[in-house]
A and B are shown apart, each in its own frame.
Chain A
Amino acid sequence: MTRPLVALAAVVLALYATAGWAQLATVSEMPLVAGDPERGRLVFAQCRTCHYTVPEQIHGNGPNLYRIFGMVAGKQPGFEYYSVAMASAEFVWTPQLMYAWLENPIAALPDTTMMSAGVPDPGQRADLIAYLQRLSVLGSGD
C-alpha cells in the first residue's frame, strides 16, 4: 500500500501548487488504510504537546483538534496563529487530507507555523488518523 499512499501526498502537493485548495476535494475520496487508534494514541503523543483535544474551545500552540474532521481548515475561533495559506484554506479536513498533509507538513505548505517533521511512516500515520477519528466521535475524556 505504501506506493499509492506516497502518490497521494504528491497529488496533494501538485493540486495545491497548480490549482489551490478547492481541488483537494478529489483527494478526500481516495481510499485510506485503516489504522489502530490505540497505537495512534502513542503516535499522537508528540502532537499533544501543542494540540489540545478537549471539547472546550482552548488552544495550545496549535489549534484544538477535538472533532477536527468535518471542520473547514484554518478557521477555528480563538486561534490566531494560522499561516496565511492555512487561514485562507477553503477545504474541509478529512482523514485522507490529514493523512496526506502529515507526511511532510513543511514541504506541503511551506508557510505552515507547525515546525514539525510530521509522521513520515505510513503505518504510524494511519494509526494517528484512526486515533483522531476516534476523537472526532468521542473526545479524549469520554
Chain B
Amino acid sequence: MSQAPDFPGLKRRELLAGLGAAAVSGLAAGAEPLQEAQVQAWDISTDVLVAGSGSAGASAAIEARQAGADVLLIESLPHFGGSSAMSAGVVYAGAGTALQRALGVADSVEAMSSFIIGAGGPHPPLDKIQLYCEQSPAHFGWLVAQGVPYAEKLSTAMTVPTDGESLYFSGAERAWPGRDLAVPAPRGHVPVARGMTGGRVLMEALLARLDVLGVVRRAGVAGQRLVLAGDGRALGMEVNMAGERKTIRARRGVVLASGGFIHNREMVRNYAPRLYDCSVPWGNMGDQGMGINMGIAAGAAALRMAQGFAIVPLYPPESVLSGIVVNASGQRFVAEDTYYGVLGDAIAYHQQGRAWLITGEGSHLPPQQDNFPLVAEANTIGDLAVKLDFPRGALQHSVAYYNRHAENGTDPMFHKSAPFLRPVQGPPYRAWNLAVDQAFVPVHTFGGLHTTVDGQVLNSFGEAIPGLYAAGRTAAGLPGAPYIASGLSVGDCTFFGRRAGLAAAAQGASA
C-alpha cells in the first residue's frame, strides 16, 4: 500500500531484470514440507508468522501482537493489502451493530443466521455461522477501534455505495427466498470511500495498526513450504526472499492467510472447473493458492474447493430487472432481482454457464454497455427465439406465463419483488448474452483448508496440525456457493483472521 516496498540488498536494475521471473517461479513452486532436521539454522525467528497481508493476515497479526507475541507478517508481492485492498471492503455484519442501531435498523442474531443458513448452499459450517452472528456487533466495534471509518448513512440501492454511505442491503435479503427467511436488514458495512475503493480504505487502517502495534512486515517475501517437526507440528516456513531461500522460525504458530487460488489457472481447472471459463478472475495476483498448497502438503484437509462466487451484474440500472433471465431451454430459473452473486451462481454452476436476459420496451438498458453484449433483436418474441435457436415455442411460453402473472403482480415461480414485476411487452425485444465467458463475470474462489472456529488447521481425520492456522480465503470459511451477500468474505477474513491470530499467540512456544 502506501509504505514503500522493501527489497533487501537488491538493486533497481537487478529488480528490473529479475523480479518478475523470481516472483513467478517462487509462486509456482510447491514442495513437500521441509523436515526440521533438514534445517541447518534458522535465518529469522518470531513468535507468530503470518503469511499474507490481506484483511485476514492483517487481522491475525493485530490480535497476535496485542496478545503479546512478536509477529512477522510477510507478503509475496511488492505491496501490502492483498485482494482485500482491491475489493469493495464490505464487511457483512449485523445482529445490532452500532451503525445499524444509529440508523434505526432492527436486526438480531436469529435473523442474521437464519438468512445466512437458509439462503446459502447445503450443509454450511453452522458453528462458524453461529459465532460470527453472535459476535458481529463486537466485531464491528473492533473494526471501528482499528480506525476503519464509517459514516452514519444508509443507501437503499442494490449496489455497493460509492458516495460515502456505509450501510446497505449487500445481499439477497430482500429477494425471494431471503425475505421469507427473516425480516430483511441492511448488513453491508462499507468504509467511507469514493468510487469502489472501500477495500483500500479498510486495509490502510489495518496496516497502519500493524505499524502502531509493532508488527514487523516485509514485502517481497514469498512462502514456499512449511517446516515440520517429526511429530507433524508446524515450526516455521521456508521463504523466497529476493531470490534467496531463507527459513523463518515461528515459535508459537504459523498463520496461513495467503488468499485463494483464482489466479492459479491449473488449480482452478482442477478444483473449481465451473469458474475456469468465467471472464474475470478477480483478486490480486497473489491469489496463487500457495497457502492452501502448503497446508495440503503438510497433511491438511481442504474443503469446498469447487465453490466460489461468480457475479453477473445485471444491475445497475435496477430497471433492467423487469426483464427475464432464461437458460438455453428458454426457461426462467431464478428471481432476476436477487443478489448478483446468486444469479451468477445459478448461471455458472447450474446452467452450464449460459443464460440470456430478455427485455422488452421500457427495459431502460443502454444498447451499448460493457457488462454483456446485445446478441439479438426482433419485433416479436417468436422471432427473437428463432434468432437465439431456442427450442420451438419455449421462450414464447415462458414470456406468456410470466406476463400473465406479472400483470396481476405475482410471480408464482420465483417471486420476483413487486417493483420489478412488469410484463415483458412491446418491441423491440432484445436478448443479451449473460454467458460467463462473454459477459463481465468476476469470480473468486472460496475453497480452502479445513479449520476450527479458532483457525486451527485440521487433517482429513479431523485432528489438528499443531502450530498451523489458516484464515481468509486460504481457509474454508463462511462464504460458499451461492454467495448470498457482499461482505461475507471480507467479514469472514477479518473475524476468523482475528481468532486465528489470537489462538496462535496463545499457544505455548515450542522448543
Binding site for B on A (CB under 8 A): 13, 16-17, 41-42, 44-46, 48-50, 52-53, 58-61, 81, 84, 104, 106-108, 110-113, 115-117, 140-142
Q: B280 to A46, Cβ gap below 8 A?
A: yes
CB-CB under 8 A for A46 and B282, given A17-B13, A108-B16, A115-B86 = yes
Say if the beta carbon of B223 comes within 8 Å of chain A: no
Known: A46-B279, A110-B12. 4 other contacts (CB 8 A): A45-B442, A49-B280, A49-B442, A140-B370
Q: B285 to A41, Cβ gap below 8 A?
A: no
Say if the beta carbon of B194 comes within 8 Å of chain A: yes
A residues less than 8 Å from B263 (CB atoms)? 117
Which residue of chain B has its CB nearest to the CB of A50?
B86
Q: Considering the complex, which residues of chain B in the window 51-110 have a beta carbon less than 8 Å from any beta carbon of chain A?
A: 77-79, 81, 85-86
- Give Cα A116 to B279, complex, Å: 16
CB-CB under 8 A for A106 and B20, given A84-B4, A141-B368 = yes
Main secondary structure of the interface of A (DSSP, over half): loop
Closest Cβ–Cβ distance, residue A83 to chain B (whole Å):
9
Which residue of chain A has its CB nearest to the CB of B13?
A17
Partner of A106, one of B23, B280, B441: B23
CB-CB under 8 A for A115 and B440, given A13-B16, A61-B197, A110-B19 = no
Partner of B16, one of A60, A81, A107: A107
Task: State the 6 A-B residue pairs at the shortest beta-carbon distance, nearest first.
Answer: A107-B20, A115-B284, A117-B285, A110-B15, A45-B280, A104-B20
A residues less than 8 Å from B7 (CB atoms)? 110
- Give Cα A50 to B17, complex, Å: 27
Chain A CB count within 10 A is highest, among B16, B194, B285, B442, for B16
- Give Cα A65 to B282, complex, Å: 19
B residues less than 8 Å from A48 (CB atoms)? 280, 370, 440
Q: A111 to B78, Cβ gap below 8 A?
A: yes
Which residue of chain B has its CB nearest to the CB of A52?
B195
B residues less than 8 Å from A61 (CB atoms)? 85-86, 195-197, 199-200
- Give Cα A70 to B195, complex, Å: 24
Closest Cβ–Cβ distance, residue A85 to chain B (whole Å):
10
Chain B CB count within 10 A is highest, among A59, A110, A112, A140, for A110
A residues less than 8 Å from B77 (CB atoms)? 106, 115
Say if the beta carbon of B286 comes within 8 Å of chain A: yes
Which residue of chain B has its CB nearest to the CB of A116?
B285
Say if the beta carbon of B438 comes within 8 Å of chain A: yes
- Give Cα A60 to B15, complex, Å: 28
- Give Cα A41 to B195, complex, Å: 21
Which residue of chain B has its CB nearest to the CB of A80?
B2
Q: A113 to B79, Cβ gap below 8 A?
A: yes
B residues less than 8 Å from A111 (CB atoms)? 4-5, 78
Q: A141 to B86, Cβ gap below 8 A?
A: no
Closest Cβ–Cβ distance, residue A68 to chain B (whole Å):
16
Q: Considering the complex, which residues of chain B in the window 416-442 have a beta carbon less than 8 Å from any beta carbon of chain A?
A: 437-438, 440-442
A-B contact pairs, 25 of them (CB 8 A): A13-B16, A17-B12, A17-B13, A41-B370, A44-B370, A45-B279, A45-B442, A49-B280, A52-B195, A58-B194, A59-B195, A59-B197, A60-B197, A61-B86, A61-B195, A61-B196, A61-B197, A61-B200, A106-B20, A106-B77, A108-B16, A111-B4, A117-B285, A141-B368, A142-B368
Which residue of chain B has its CB nearest to the CB of A64?
B195
Q: B79 to A115, Cβ gap below 8 A?
A: yes
Which residue of chain B has its CB nearest to the CB of A49?
B282
- Give Cα A140 to B16, complex, Å: 34
Which residue of chain A has its CB nearest to the CB of B286?
A115
- Give Cα A47 to B21, complex, Å: 22
Q: Per-residue CB proximity of B178-199 to A under 8 Å, as 1/0?
A: 0000000000000000111101
Say if the beta carbon of B230 comes within 8 Å of chain A: no
Q: Per-residue CB proximity of B341-374 to A under 8 Å, as 1/0?
A: 0000000000000000000000000101110000
Say if the beta carbon of B281 comes within 8 Å of chain A: yes
- Give Cα A60 to B263, complex, Å: 21
Closest Cβ–Cβ distance, residue B248 to chain A (whole Å):
23
B residues less than 8 Å from A110 (CB atoms)? 5, 7, 12, 15-16, 19, 78
- Give Cα A140 to B370, complex, Å: 7
Q: Considering the complex, which residues of chain B in the window 263-292 have a beta carbon less than 8 Å from any beta carbon of chain A?
A: 263, 279-282, 284-286
